[in-house]
Amino acid sequence: KAGVTQTPRYLIKTRGQQVTLSCSPISGHRSVSWYQQTPGQGLQFLFEYFSETQRNKGNFPGRFSGRQFSNSRSEMNVSTLELGDSALYLCASSLETHYEQYFGPGTRLTVT
């Protein structure tokens, strides 16, 4: 089976712009979770989607949003980018709740 894929892998944006990141889960997995990793804060949970519904949300401002499509692919969007949004954004897919999570390679976002 193909693993979790994320596109793009690298992205450079300017403050104030918006960005959309994409995640394709492992075939058959219905849960997709998004995480942000920064040197200062480490790994932090953004949100989780399960069967097209947001099931959990982390403590991030409303500029961070996401969605999941019927084929379980997920996108996350960050609007009005700030310098502090520079990070590695990881998605992880899972078959069901409390199953092992499989991580994608991440999208490295740099905001200048």
Partner 1 sequence: KNEVEQSPQNLTAQEGEFITINCSYSVGISALHWLQQHPGGGIVSLFMLSSGKKKHGRLIATINIQEKHSSLHITASHPRDSAVYICAVPYKYGNKLVFGAGTILRVKS
Q: Is 56 in the site for partner 1 (CB under 8 A)?
A: yes
Q: 34 and 84 in contact (C-beta within 8 Å)?
A: no
Q: Which are the contacts of 52, defined by CB distance < 8 A and separation ≥ 6?
A: 67, 68, 69, 70
Contact track, partner 1, 71-100, x by CB under 8 A: -------------------x-x-x--xxxx
Q: Give the C-alpha separation, 9 to 105, whole Å.
A: 8
Q: 45 and 35 in contact (C-beta within 8 Å)?
A: yes
Token pair in block for residue 6: 């994320």
**Stretch touching partner 1 by CB under 8 A, among 14-22, 50-58, 66-74, 79-87:** 50-58
- Residue 83 or 100: which CB sits closer to partner 1? 100
Q: Is 7 in the site for partner 1 (CB under 8 A)?
A: no
Q: Of 14, 42, 70, 83, which one interacts with partner 1 (CB under 8 A)?
A: 42
Q: In 3D, which of 16, 49, 39, 53 has the Cα closest to residue 87?
A: 39
- Residue 11 or 58: which CB sits closer to partner 1? 58
Query: Which residues of the chain form contacts with partner 1 (CB under 8 A)?
Result: 31, 33, 35, 42-45, 48, 50, 55-56, 58, 90, 92, 94, 97-106
